[in-house]
Amino acid sequence: MPTAVLVNDKEYGIEPDFRTCIRIILAFEDDGLAPIEKKAVLIENLYLEQPDNLPIAFSQGIKFLNGGEDAKEDEGSGVGRLYSFQKDANFIFAAFRQTHGIDLENENMHWWKFLALFADLGADTTFCNLINLRKKIKTGTASKEEKATARELGDLMDIPEPDTRTLEEKEIEQEFMRQIRGI
């Protein structure tokens, strides 16, 4: 498993531990950070030494986070996000323990190994059942009983989509709202 990536034909060491990669993903989910700040989090946390070409370093970093796959445009599944590493952390920890016998708190693991094990979490885990229920609710295929369960779970069911607006778009909206309120 790789511990370095190529940027302009030069190899740069990276921090491949799953905790580092999750920290980067959490930054990308943080609507309070500007896009440039999110990129800085990736560069500062993933690379052991800052590469010369930051745009290529960023795209190579995303490729590493994607398990070696190039970033793909949204293929339009229409379902949206089904989990959050932040919101579902306890369920993910428990699912790793239940399925693989791994205590993530005490484990040093390469990100790609984490991804492989994450993709193979057992269907009988609370985490996988929660994802399945979220998917059914979002696609409109949930039964009456499943809808009732989702209502009982309340906030646990909500996984907000990341705010992908640019800083300029956010500022325009804020100005618009100030004008409406008469501030």
Q: Per-residue pLDDT tens for 110-167?
A: 999 999 999 999 999 999 999 999 999 999 999 999 999 999 998 888 887 766 676 6
Provide the domain limits for residue 104: 89-157
| Number of domain units in the chain | 2
Residue 172 lies in a domain: no
Average pLDDT, the chain: 89
Residue 174 lies in a domain: no
Residue 175 lies in a domain: no
8 and 61, same structural domain? yes
Alpha-carbon 36 to chain mean position: 17
95 and 47, same structural domain? no
**Would you place residue 4 in the very low, low, confident or very high pLDDT band (cuts 50, 70, 90)?**
very high
The mean per-residue pLDDT over the stretch 54-82 comes to: 81
CB-based contact 156:82 (threshold 8 Å): no
Residue 71 lies in a domain: no
Q: How far apart are CA 31 and CA 112, in angstroms?
A: 26
Predicted TM-score of the model (pTM)? 0.82
Backbone φ, ψ for residue 4 (5° rounding): -155, 160
Residue 98 lies in a domain: yes
